[in-house]
Amino acid sequence: MEIWADTANTAEIEKINALGILDGVTTNPSLIAKEAGDPIAILKRITSVVKGPVSAEVISVEADGMIKEGTKLAGIAPNIVVKIPMGIEGLKAIKVLHQKGIRTNCTLTFSANQALLAAKAGASYVNAFVGRIDDEGDDGFRLVQDILVMLENYKLQSELIVASIRHPWHVHLSAQAGAHVATIPTAVIEKMASHIRTTEGINKFLADWNKAGKEYKI
């Protein structure tokens, strides 16, 4: 499963990239709006750090505008994936961008039917927003499983991104289900690397070492 950082903060992306685990990045208008500077410049900085897919979302709500913006965004760098919101206008835009050879990420999908339509239209990636689905009292990972079965049944070329991840257990379930990608906030990635027993073990080893007065002579 690929791990993507769900952030537009270049410092966070560089920090995660240094760990050797980062496969891509997702941004959205809310994340871009938090960062100072021109949005295109921000995306250029991100694509200079990350060689894998970087999702950049359109702002237009009509197909023609999405296509125009998507074409411009795709021109920023070869690894840009244009993020298109689900809907009738979004499906129109996905189809045209797909025909132009531009990869797309269909976002804000909350049902298997939406994912099916996006995949049929030519989306490179479809999403399952598990955290937001859980918030409504439903089971976000039932949707993940339903979409994966659907993609496999009909050999559709779209890959599934698990989005709206709230905690490390969501990542565990994503990998267990066989999701292609999990896009994860920085704080959750940091929590994944931590465990109370790991911290206790390190402290115990260091205490024993210091008590014995040992040192490496290199």
Active-site positions read 83
Closest by Cα among 135, 58, 42 to 92: 58
Q: Which residues contact 98 (CB under 8 A, 6 or more apart)?
A: 104, 121, 122, 123, 124
Q: Helices (H), strands (E): how many in the chain?
A: 11, 8
Secondary structure of residue 40 in the 3-state scheme: helix
Percentages (nearest 5) of helix, strand, coil residues in the chain: 50, 15, 30
Rg for the chain, CA atoms, rounded: 20
Q: For residue 194, how many other CB atoms are within 10 A of its CB?
A: 9
What distance in Å separates the CA atoms of residue 173 and residue 191, rounded to the nearest whole number? 15
